[in-house]
C-alpha cells in the first residue's frame, strides 16, 4: 500500500529569490504571481529563509510610527528592523520552516497548522530546495478516483491483512467513502481494516458493516496490541 508523501503532490517549478533581491522586486514577484511567500536560496539552492506577505507589510505597518521605545520587546524590535529592510536577506524569516520530500501528507499538514504557514519549501537530504507544497497541494489526495482508492484498499488491506477472510468481504468506494460488508472471523480483523483503510490516500471516511464470528476485543484491547497506531 503506497504511503503518499509531499513528493507526490508538491510543485517542482519553484520561484525563488537570492538574498540580495531588493524589497520592491520581492513585492512585485509576490503580487504578480499571487504568492503568499517566496523562498530565499543561496548559490547552492539551500533554503536560508522565507519572505512572506507579513514580512513585507512591516514597512506599511510601521510607516510614520512613533520612535522606538527603550523597553520594546524582542518581537517588536525585530519587526522594526524588517520595516527598514531593503533586501530579501533582511526581510526573510529564519530559520525557514521546511520539510523533507519524504514527509507524509498528514505530517506536512500538522507542520503547516502548527507553524501557521500556507506553503512549505521541500528540501532534499542536503537541504537543497526541490519543491514547494501548499495547503491546496495536500488536498489533492482527496481528488483521487474511487477506482484507484478501491485498488489500494483491495491490495493493501483486504489481500494483505484479511487474506483468510478475503472471499467473504466486499468493498465499495463512493466519493472517497469506503464501505466494508460481509463477514470475518474476528472482531480484531474489522478494527485493523478500519485503521489501515483510513491511512489510504484519498479516503474520506470508512463505513464498517462487517460482521464477525468471534469477539476478541476483550483479549486484544486497542489496535496498539497488534501494532496498528
Mean pLDDT confidence for 167-177: 96
Within 10 Å of residue 22's Cβ, how many Cβ atoms? 13
DSSP for 171-192, please give it: EEEETTEEEEEEEEEEHHHHHH
| Residue 102, C-beta contacts closer than 8 angstroms, at least 6 positions apart | 5, 6, 7
* pLDDT (tens digit per residue) in 42-76: 999 999 999 999 888 888 776 655 554 544 555 55
Domains of the chain: 6-141 (3.10.580.10), 144-226 (3.30.1340.30)
CA gap 177, 171 in Å, rounded: 10
H or E element in which residue 70 lies: none
What DSSP designation does 5 have? B
Supply the pLDDT for residue 60: 79
Is the distance from CB of 37 to CB of 26 less than 8 angstroms?
no
* pTM recorded for the entire structure: 0.74
As a whole number of angstroms, the distance between CA 210 and CA 166 comes to 12
pLDDT tier at 83 (50, 70, 90 boundaries)? confident
Per-residue confidence (pLDDT) for residue 209, from 0 to 100: 97
Three-state DSSP at 67 gives: coil
Q: Give the position of cell 483468510.
A: 164
Q: Taking every pair of C-alpha atoms in the chain, what is the biggest distance, in angstroms?
A: 77
- Report pLDDT for 104: 93
In angstroms, the CA 28 to CA 198 distance is 42
Beta bridge partners of 121: 132
pLDDT band at 151 (very low <50, low <70, confident <90, very high): very high
Amino acid at each position: 500500500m503506497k504511503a503518499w508523501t509531499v513528493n507526490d503532490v508538491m510543485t517542482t517549478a519553484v520561484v525563488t529569490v537570492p538574498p540580495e533581491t531588493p524589497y520592491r522586486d520581492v513585492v512585485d514577484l509576490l503580487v504578480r504571481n499571487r504568492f503568499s511567500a517566496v523562498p530565499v536560496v543561496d548559490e547552492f539552492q539551500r533554503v536560508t529563509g522565507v519572505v512572506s506577505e507579513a514580512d513585507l507589510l512591516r514597512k506599511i505597518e510601521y510607516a510614520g510610527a512613533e520612535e522606538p521605545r527603550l523597553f520594546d520587546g524582542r518581537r517588536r524590535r525585530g519587526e522594526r528592523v524588517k520595516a527598514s529592510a531593503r533586501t530579501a536577506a533582511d526581510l526573510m524569516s529564519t530559520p525557514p520552516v521546511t520539510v523533507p520530500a519524504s514527509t507524509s501528507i498528514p505530517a506536512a499538514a500538522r507542520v503547516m497548522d502548527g507553524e501557521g504557514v500556507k506553503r512549505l519549501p521541500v528540501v532534499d537530504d542536503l537541504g537543497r530546495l526541490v519543491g514547494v507544497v501548499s495547503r491546496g497541494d495536500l488536498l489533492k489526495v482527496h481528488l483521487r478516483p474511487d477506482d484507484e482508492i478501491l485498488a489500494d484498499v483491495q491490495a493493501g488491506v483486504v489481500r494483505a491483512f484479511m487474506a483468510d477472510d478475503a472471499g467473504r468481504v466486499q468493498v465499495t468506494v463512493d466519493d472517497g467513502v469506503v464501505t466494508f460488508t460481509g463477514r470475518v472471523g474476528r472482531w480484531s480483523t474489522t478494527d485493523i481494516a478500519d485503521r489501515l483503510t483510513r491511512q489510504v490516500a484519498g479516503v474520506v471516511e470508512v463505513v464498517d458493516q462487517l460482521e464477525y464470528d468471534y469477539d476478541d476485543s476483550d483479549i486484544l484491547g486497542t489496535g496498539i496490541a497488534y501494532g496498528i497506531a
